[in-house]
Amino acid sequence: MNKYRDFSEDDPLPAERLPLLLKGSEDSLFSHPGYPHPFEFNEEVAAVFDDMVSRSVPLYQEVIHCLVEWAWLTLRPGDRVCDLGCSTGTSMQAIGQQISFPLHFYGVDQSEAMLARAADKLSLLQPLHQIILHHGDLESALPEDCSLVILNYTLQFVPVERRQAIMNRIFESLKPGGLLFYSEKTRSQIPDLANMMTCSYESFKRRHGYSVNEISRKKEALDKVLLPFTRAEHLNLLDCAGFKKRETIFQWHQFTTFVAVKE
């Protein structure tokens, strides 16, 4: 693996000074009976996505902070960063704002509405960083020789039968020593504990301003659209792809972040 960067009090990890990134229109899509059903990443969702994710994914900003730290410790000038399911480009924006040497960013998403917002957000990173956004299929769009692949809350929306092929392609696309940063909503295999975690998660969303009706409607819209794996199934995906070095670095109930290194 690439040698880690050294840091000291005079050169702190950039996440210590990472600003709040998520802005945009307030998410009220599920406050009325005509809510999106089934859920899809269309123009309606893209318009409020940044607010939605910050209020729906526990400690989302902290996950982005962790991502920036790992990127800062491992990337070198000219390295390629690929974000699969890049949505509005927040992850690439965070890295690009905190790293002062040039990088090649490659964002992939199947939603043109999301990519349009990513293009606006990432335009400020140029000309220091190169930005390429690609509308298309996740596995076929991956470039070669990536130093960092980001897969945050994306695989859970992909048909189950395609997930191993995508993970295999990620492994192939990484340079030796390259890093995969991978976040998902996971599923517990213990029913009573799973129910308690769901209750706690719904309490989190109420604390962030969603009503009981909004929570119920969104859950219905996501049924058979968001299909979470267990933590063991995610680790098996990584193992079968060839990742021998992998670790869980963050977990809040069902929400889990992994890192994996290609040896």
Domain that holds residue 118: 52-261
Structure confidence by residue, pLDDT tens digits, 139-194: 778 899 999 999 999 999 999 999 999 999 999 999 999 999 999 999 999 999 99
State how many domains the chain has.
1
> Considering the domain boundaries, does residue 106 fall inside one?
yes
The rounded distance, in Å, linking the Cα atoms of 122 and 132 is 10
Residue with tokens 């897969």: 151
Q: How far apart are CA 99 and CA 74, in angstroms?
A: 11
CATH code for the domain of 141? 3.40.50.150
**Measured distance CA(167)–CA(162) in Å, rounded:** 9
* Whether pLDDT at 111 is above 90: yes
Residue 47 banded pLDDT, cuts 50, 70, 90: very high
pLDDT of residue 257: 98
**In this structure, what are the phi and psi dihedrals at residue 211, rounded to the nearest 5 degrees?**
-85, 165
Within-domain flag for 17: no
Is residue 86 packed enough to be buried (19+ CB in 10 Å), middle (13-18) or exposed (0-12)?
Answer: buried
Asked, for residue 190, whether it belongs to a domain, the answer is: yes
Residue 35 lies in a domain: no
In a domain, 70, yes or no: yes
Asked if residue 22 is part of any domain, the answer here is: no
Helix residue ranges per DSSP H, 47-111: 49-56, 60-74, 90-98
The full length of the chain comes to 263
Nearest to 260 by CA among 168, 157, 187, 181: 181
Longest Cα pair distance anywhere in the chain, in angstroms?
A: 54
Are the C-beta atoms of 229 and 240 separated by less than 8 Å?
no
Helices 90-98 and 60-74: crossing angle in degrees, nearest 10, is 50
What pLDDT digit, counting tens, does each position of 72-98 carry? Answer: 999 999 999 999 999 999 999 999 999
Q: Report residue 87 CA to chain centroid gap.
A: 9
- Peptide bond before residue 127 is cis, with ω within 30 degrees of 0: yes
Q: Is residue 125 part of a domain?
A: yes
Does residue 166 lie within any of the structural domains?
Answer: yes
